[in-house]
């Protein structure tokens, strides 16, 4: 059994980076700075996001969110995560760890689904009575084992298929419900 830190690079925004570079330099638009409050239930919420300009982002290359970087909340909503997409330029903010894959046989989407599946474990090892949190060492030491890439892809494809099927079923149910309501209204008036 490996540790998460054996197969991924895990980093966070250093306190001095926030104080010396980000704080006081936020803009009304530009590169979104993703903080812990911006990821809830594995969804990225840009409603209350801060921005920096591209020049400042490039001056802090360690905190640039790469394509397929996994952003992981390690404070408060511990375990929530977001898998970045190609072409989506983001910058690391507070209370978020950036996790990048360092081995060739680990698929980003598999890692993302693994995090979703193991959120309760991460909550169970988190510390803090008022605000739950994990240290970078605790995150790096999370036991992590993964199957071969073919099985990983099969798992990812199965999850995608199930999500699509569930979405289709829910939409079909809603359409039938709407039709039933329309028919009930028509019968009532005739």
- Per-residue pLDDT tens digits for 40-62: 999 999 998 999 999 999 999 99
Indicate if the pLDDT at residue 177 is higher than 90.
no
Alpha helices in the chain (DSSP H): 4-7, 15-17, 54-59, 108-117, 119-125, 136-140, 149-189
The pLDDT of residue 32: 96
Q: CA separation (Å) from 12 to 36, 91, 180, 185?
A: 11, 11, 52, 56
pLDDT, tens digit, for every residue of 135-174? 999 999 999 988 999 999 999 999 888 877 777 777 777 7
Confidence (pLDDT) at 31: 95
In the beta sheet, which residues pair with residue 27?
Answer: 51
Going from the C-alpha of 15 to that of each of 12, 41, 136, 160, the distances in angstroms are 9, 26, 14, 38
96 near 36, Cβ under 8 Å?
A: yes
Given this model, what pLDDT does residue 188 score? Answer: 66
Residue of 34, 35, 71, 29 lying closest to 52 (CA atoms): 29
Looking at residue 189, what is its pLDDT?
Answer: 64
| Residue of 122, 144, 101, 131 whose CA lies nearest to 42 | 122
The DSSP 8-state label assigned to residue 68 in this structure reads: T
3-class secondary structure, 45: coil
Tell me which H or E stretch contains 28. Answer: none
Please report which confidence band the pLDDT of residue 82 belongs to, taking 50, 70 and 90 as the band edges.
Answer: very high
CATH superfamily of 2-146: DNA methylase specificity domains (3.90.220.20)
């Amino acid at each position: 059994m490996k540790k998460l830190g054996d197969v991924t690079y895990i980093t966070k925004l250093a306190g001095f980076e926030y104080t010396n570079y980000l704080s006081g330099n936020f803009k009304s638009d530009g590169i979104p700075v993703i903080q812990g409050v911006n990821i809830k239930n594995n969804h990225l919420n840009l409603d209350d996001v801060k921005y920096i300009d591209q020049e400042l982002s490039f001056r802090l290359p360690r905190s640039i969110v790469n394509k397929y970087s996994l952003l992981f909340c390690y404070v408060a909503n511990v375990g929530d995560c977001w898998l970045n997409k190609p072409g989506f330029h983001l910058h690391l903010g507070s209370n978020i760890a950036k996790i990048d894959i360092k081995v060739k046989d680990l698929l980003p989407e598999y890692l993302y689904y693994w995090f979703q599946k193991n959120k309760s474990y991460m909550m169970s090892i988190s510390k803090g009575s008022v605000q739950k949190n994990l240290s970078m060492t605790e995150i790096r030491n999370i036991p992590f084992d993964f199957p071969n890439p073919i099985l990983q892809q099969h798992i990812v494809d199965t999850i995608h298929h199930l999500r699509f099927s569930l979405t289709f079923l829910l939409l079909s149910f809603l359409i039938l419900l709407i039709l039933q309501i329309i028919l009930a209204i028509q019968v009532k008036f005739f």
